[in-house]
Amino acid sequence: MAYAVGLLLVVSACKKENDQDDLNSLLVYEVALDAFVADLQAQPLDSAGLSNRVRDYLAPQSGSFFGATVALLDSTRKVYYSPYWYRLNDILALKNLADPAYQIDEQEWLRRPIDSGYAIWTEPYFDAGGGEVWMRTRAVPVVINSEIVAVATTDVKVQ
């Protein structure tokens, strides 16, 4: 019995340490994305230069930052433009997530921040039609003049 209790305490301590490591690593993504969102809110947000801004956000990040997008919303809160930059082997590649086949307006990573008004982390999921990998997404609403005008994301590849 004492052995079982001791083993449980060791496993519990390891889990707490791993949980703390996970929280610390997630904080890196949160800080980077929050800074990007602040920049998006401070500078005019339009489709003309948005793809370059997303690429310029993702490019200097470590390789653990798999992908990023900013999904621009129309007045009905539907996406009309969403350039998605992601790591494909050793290069950055671009997809348009506003493609109807992707059904972006039904994606959890988009709906939850729009509906709640808060930043979220998704549970791990396979991103079919986007990055084509298992990932978690950090998604933050971009608010200008008290209106959510976009959702910015960072994707983290998971095993």
* Cα maximum dimension of the chain: 67
114 neighbors 141 (Cβ within 8 angstroms): yes
Would the pLDDT of 143 be above 50?
yes
Q: What percent of the chain has pLDDT over 90?
A: 73
CA 41, 32, 91 angle in degrees (round to 5)? 105
Q: Which of 13-17, 63-67, 80-84, 139-143 has the lowest mean pLDDT?
A: 13-17
Question: Residue 109: helix, strand or coil by DSSP?
Answer: helix
What's the count of helices (H) and strands (E) in the chain, helices before strands? 3, 8
pLDDT over 70, % of the chain: 85
CA distances to 28, 37, 63, 79 from 57, in Å? 14, 10, 13, 20
Question: 0.75 exceeded by the pTM?
Answer: yes
- CA neighbours within 13 Å on the CB side: how many for 4? 1
Residue 124 to residues 19, 99, 135, 156: CA-CA distances in angstroms? 16, 23, 5, 9
Mean pLDDT across the chain: 86
What is the band of 118 on the pLDDT scale with cuts at 50, 70, 90? very high
pLDDT of residue 19: 44
Q: How far is CA 132 from CA 24, 48, 104, 128, 157, in A?
A: 26, 26, 14, 5, 10
